[in-house]
Amino acid sequence: MARVRTLLRRRAGALAAVTAALALAVPAAGPPAAASGLPRGHDVSSHQKHVGWQAARNSGARFAYVKATEATSYRNPYFAEQYNGSRAAGLVRGAYHFALPDSSSGTAQARYFVRNGGGWRADGWTLPPALDVEYNPYSRKRKCYGLTKKQMVRWIRSFSDEVRNETGRRPVIYTTTQWWKLCTGNSGAFSSSNPLWIAGHGASGPGPLPGGWQFWTFWQHATDGALPGDQDLFNGSTGRLRTFARG
């Protein structure tokens, strides 16, 4: 996210869902050209530094996710500027956390995230917190961070539970189908509780969804485009985006 997530990703770049999300989701759309009526958004991190939010709004952005934290030791130094700037420009915005499941527990990382920008309130402008869980950017050999499939599912569950306890919302889960199959065994444990943010780049659509999800809520379809950072779509109308934000 905020840069293409590969095994060489740098630190700087580092649904059947809840009932409300189910009511808001629509069947998976086609390619961005065919889904041009869906609200456009983007996700950014410290790599983008000083984002021109009003220009992004004028270029069609309606929502944004901003990287807040990674593990329990990193906070995006541009977070406040990016998070507040996107709201000031009229975007619905939320925060995301990049998971390093081999560094500390899901509970500990969730607490760090919430205390450093990953909160939520039902104001219609704040998207639910998001968990970015994917290939290990720091080790090619430890794609799943050294965890077994069951351990990974437990880690994600502990993160999700703690975010729910602290904010009242289950986090959106950002992942790829390939990683989810490899590292969770394609677990369906979250398909009825957590909205899906699927990454599928350069494709005519997001492709098969992982883990029992029948709908995607967000689709990251490209790593560059008209908006700063990665390019995203919301699976619904702008009004439904605001309703989803309110919870």
Which residues participate in catalysis according to the annotation?
43, 132, 134
- Identify the CA nearest to 217 among candidates 244, 180, 238: 244
